[in-house]
Amino acid sequence: MTFDKLSLHPEILKAIVECGYTTPTPIQNEAIPAALEGRDLMASAQTGTGKTAAFILPALQRLTTPSTSKSRGPRVLVLTPTRELASQVNEAASKYGRHLRFTTASILGGMPYPAQNRALSKPMDIMVATPGRLMDHMERGRVDFSRLEILVLDEADRMLDMGFISAVETIAAATPSTRQTLLFSATLEGNIAKLAQRLLKNPQRIQMASAQAKHENIEQRLHHTDDDGHKQRMLAHLLIDGSVDKTIIFTATKRGADKLARTLLVNGHKVAALHGDMNQSARNRVIHQLRGGTVRVLVATDVAARGIDVNGVSHVINFDLPRSAEDYVHRIGRTGRAGANGTAISFAAPDETRLLRDIERYTGHAITAHVVPGM
């Protein structure tokens, strides 16, 4: 999927290209089309996954059509738990909306009132607010939500943790029932589910946290490497470690897989290759051998390894980083199965830095780099 498939306004697309983004993140892929259709959303996505753009882009798109209402107040309201998050939202709006004309106002605690009072007396396009201060203004009768079209609850779980539940509900109740509501939260369970039930209409549920959350039993490590030779030496060192049992090594190409398998065979490992050039019965045989233990090291490519379900794989080693972050998650999921712990080790050469960044953005956390003494 590319951004131009999302049918965003050309001026928004232009800004995205200028930001250097090439592909939407998973949350953006799911959330943007649904939001553009006008659906309510409840999405679980941690910070770092591109969630801000997931709601700001559809909001900006909405603003490219003029409002029919002349009254004061915002067309889009983003509620955030903190001032810091509010300023991130504002930055995202001005970054992605740099080729559009729209007005914004921040209604945040700890800031002077007069400028906020002035802003509230006029129409505006986007209001970014913390619930406490916004309630304050509402109680003084200064807020008009009659032309509100979109309500965004950003990091809703944190707003609830901070005791803002009744403020959020009061604010939502003051907005038109025709509004579209987009709820983002690290979790969609418990109180968030109850809140969503009260505030959202037939929402599309988007569960993204699984990519991050699922792999808590897998230790993920990174080794920066110089080149293929360095990777080979590092691999040889890792494979003699006593804790290494069954291992799946991933390479970028079929030829790479064959070549590495031959090298490991010469070095005395019980190894086989698995890739798409092998027919199904040859592939099945190899997987059977891995299950039975006659093969301990499998050198595989992504496509061939997709469905491998073999218990007791102690290590996954990314000899080459995958081309897509999603493949990274599939790869490491070959270890730590059936309640076991696993280790996923990635080698990253200097020309793989971009792939590494994509993976870290997708999974939402940085992989810890390790140095092996003497390597």
Residue 212 binds ligand AMP, judged by CB under 6 A: no
Q: Which of 26, 27, 35 is nearest to 8 (CA)?
A: 35
Residue 43 binds ligand AMP, judged by CB under 6 A: no
| C-alpha distance across the termini of the chain, in Å | 39
36, 39, 48, 109: residue in contact with ligand AMP (rule CB under 6 A): 48
Residue 25 binds ligand AMP, judged by CB under 6 A: yes
Task: Report which secondary-structure segment, H or E, holds 124.
Answer: strand 123-129
Q: Which residue's CB is nearer to ligand AMP, number 53 or number 60?
A: 53
CA dihedral 324, 328, 330, 332 (to 10 degrees): 170
Residue 333 binds ligand AMP, judged by CB under 6 A: no
Which tokens hold the place of 244?
């290494």
| Contact positions with ligand AMP (CB under 6 A) in 350-369 | 361
Alpha-carbon distance of 24 to 27, in angstroms, equals 8
Task: Provide CB contacts within 8 A for 193, sequence distance 6+.
Answer: none
Region near ligand AMP per CB under 6 A, out of 51-59, 107-115, 229-237, 278-286:
51-59
Alpha-carbon distance of 163 to 157, in angstroms, equals 10
51, 246, 275, 283: residue in contact with ligand AMP (rule CB under 6 A): 51
47, 87, 103, 324: residue in contact with ligand AMP (rule CB under 6 A): 47
CA atoms within 13 Å, Cβ hemisphere of 180: 18
DSSP string, 263-280: HHHHTT--EEEE-TTS-H
Residue 273 binds ligand AMP, judged by CB under 6 A: no
Q: How far is the CB of 97 from ligand AMP (least distance, A)?
A: 14
DSSP secondary structure letter of residue 350: G
Dihedral sign from CA coordinates of 20, 24, 28, 34 = positive
Q: How far is the CB of 39 from ligand AMP (least distance, A)?
A: 20
24, 81, 256, 333: residue in contact with ligand AMP (rule CB under 6 A): 24
Residue 325 binds ligand AMP, judged by CB under 6 A: no
**Binding pattern to ligand AMP, positions 3-22, x when CB under 6 A?**
------------------x-
Region near ligand AMP per CB under 6 A, out of 23-31, 96-104, 152-160, 163-171:
23-31
Residue 188 binds ligand AMP, judged by CB under 6 A: no
Alpha-carbon distance of 310 to 11, in angstroms, equals 49
| Residues lying near ligand AMP in the complex (CB under 6 A) | 21, 24-25, 28, 47-53, 361
